Homo-oligomer: A and B are copies of this chain.
Amino acid sequence: MFIILVYDVNEKRVNKVLKTCRKYLNWVQNSVLEGDISDANLKKLKIELSHIINKKEDSVIFYLLRTTKYSKREIMGLEKGGENMFI
């Protein structure tokens, strides 16, 4: 599965959230990561994040794409992230 993860968390928790997401996904842009991930790893990622974030203050959104066949990514301006796995 391909996922796009965007987070909006309190400054105090940004580093921990980012570090955790990076174990499973590629950093794309400020507070955005993406990548292919297995169901098992997605589950792990969610559990780890749920221990870090404050659910009353923070927000993490997962866009889950079963296939990228019907999707594409376009960038305007700088390409900040390193890897480009999206077609």
Which residue of chain B is the closest to A86 with respect to CB atoms? B63
Instruction: Count how many chain A residues have C-beta atoms less than 8 Å from C-beta atoms of the other chain.
Output: 39
- Is A38 on the interface with B (CB-CB < 8 A)? no
Contact with B along A56-81 (1 / 0, CB 8 A): 11111111111101111111111110
Tell me the minimal C-beta distance from A73 to chain B in angstroms: 5
Tell me the minimal C-beta distance from A55 to chain B in angstroms: 4
- Identify A62's interface contact among B30, B63, B74, CB under 8 A: B74
- Residue pair A6, B8 in contact (C-beta under 8 Å): no
Residues of A bordering B, CB below 8 Å: 4, 6, 8-9, 28-32, 46, 49-50, 53-67, 69-80
